Amino acid sequence: MRADVLRRTPLVVAVHSLATPEECAQLQGEAGDLSSLGRAHVSGGTTSRDRRTLSKNLYPGETNDTLTRLAARFFETARQLTGYELDGEGQEPVNWLYYKSGYEYRPHCDGACGTRSVNYGSRVASSLLYCAVADDGGGTVFPPDGLKIEPTVGMLLLFTYNPDPDGLSRHAACPVLRGEKMTATQWYREGVTAKHDWEFAAKGGRLPRRKKQRSSPRRKRERQEV
Ligand SMILES: O=C(O)CCC(=O)C(=O)O
Ligand SMILES: [Fe+2]
C-alpha cells in the first residue's frame, strides 16, 4: 500500500488502493438501491445546507461482509497514520454518499476547525473511501490552503483536526460535472468504546480516560514520519 502525505499538520494523507475495485462494487451492493438514499442529514438530524448529495448510514457488524472488513481496515490505517487512540467499537456508522452530476458538498468542517484541542470523545479525524469517481469534477479540496485531491477508485483520503488552530481542515467536495461519485466517510472519535459510544459522547457524556499506552519506539517513529 502506498501513502502520500499531502500536508503534515494537520495531516492529510492519500492511501492508494486501500480497497480494490471489486470491494468497492461489493460495498455499493451492500449500500443498496440508490432510491433508499435520503437527502443528506447531519448528526443532529437537521438537513445540512452545506450538502447537495444523497446519503445513508451503513452499520458495520459482526458478519464478514465487505463493509465490516473495510471499516476494520479504516481503523487500522487511521491508528497507524495518526497515532490517535482509536477503538473500532462505539464509533459512528459509515456514511455512504452519492453525488450525481451537479451535486456538491460546500466548504465545511467535520468536527472542530480552528481549535487547539477538542474534548475527549469528539471527532478528531475523517476518512473518505472513493468508490466511484466522476468523469469530470468531484475532487475534494481544502480551501484554506488550496490543497486539491483528484480521487481514484479505492483511494482513502484521511485527514485530522486535533489540533487544527488555523482551520486548515475545512474542506469541500467540488461539484460533479459529469458522471457520478460515491464515497464512504468514516469519522473517528478518540475515547469512545462499545460501553461509552459516540451517541453518549455527542450528548456531552463524560468518557472515562483510557490508560495511556506506552509508546513503543516503532510507534514513535511512525508518528514522526507522517
Ligand atoms: O465527498 C467528498 O469529497 C467530501 C465528503 C465530506 O466532506 C464528508 O463526508 O464529510
Ligand atoms: Fe466533510
Name the residue at shortest CA distance from atom 1 of ligand 1: 173
- pLDDT tens for 86-129 read 999 999 999 999 999 999 999 999 998 999 999 999 999 999 99
What ipTM did this prediction achieve? 0.99
Question: Residue 217 C-alpha to ligand 2 middle, in angstroms?
Answer: 33
- Residues 6+ positions from 170 with CB-CB distance below 8 Å: 107, 108, 109, 113, 142, 143, 144
Q: In what order do the strands lie in the sheet with 54-58?
A: 2-7, 12-16, 156-160, 123-132, 181-189, 94-99, 54-58, 38-39
Pocket probe mutation, ligand 1, options 103, 128, 160, max atoms within 8 Å of Cβ: 128
Q: Which residue puts its alpha carbon closest to atom 4 of ligand 1?
A: 173
pLDDT tens-digit readout, 47-72: 556 677 888 999 999 788 999 999 99
Q: CA geometry: angle at 107 spanning 104 and 112, to 5°?
A: 135
Look at phi and psi of residue 202 and say left if phi exceeds 0, alpha if psi is from -120 to 50, else beta: alpha
* CB 53 less than 6 A from any atom of ligand 1: no
Distance (angstroms) between ligand 2 centre and the Cα of 51 equals: 10
Ligand 1, atom nearest to 126 Cα: 10
Average pLDDT, the chain: 89
Ligand 1 touching residue 128 (CB < 6 A): yes
CA 151 – CA 139 distance, rounded (Å): 6
Q: DSSP assignment, residue 104?
A: E
Tell me how far the alpha carbon of residue 95 is from its chain's centroid: 9
Rounded to 5°, angle at Cα 116 from 74 and 49: 65
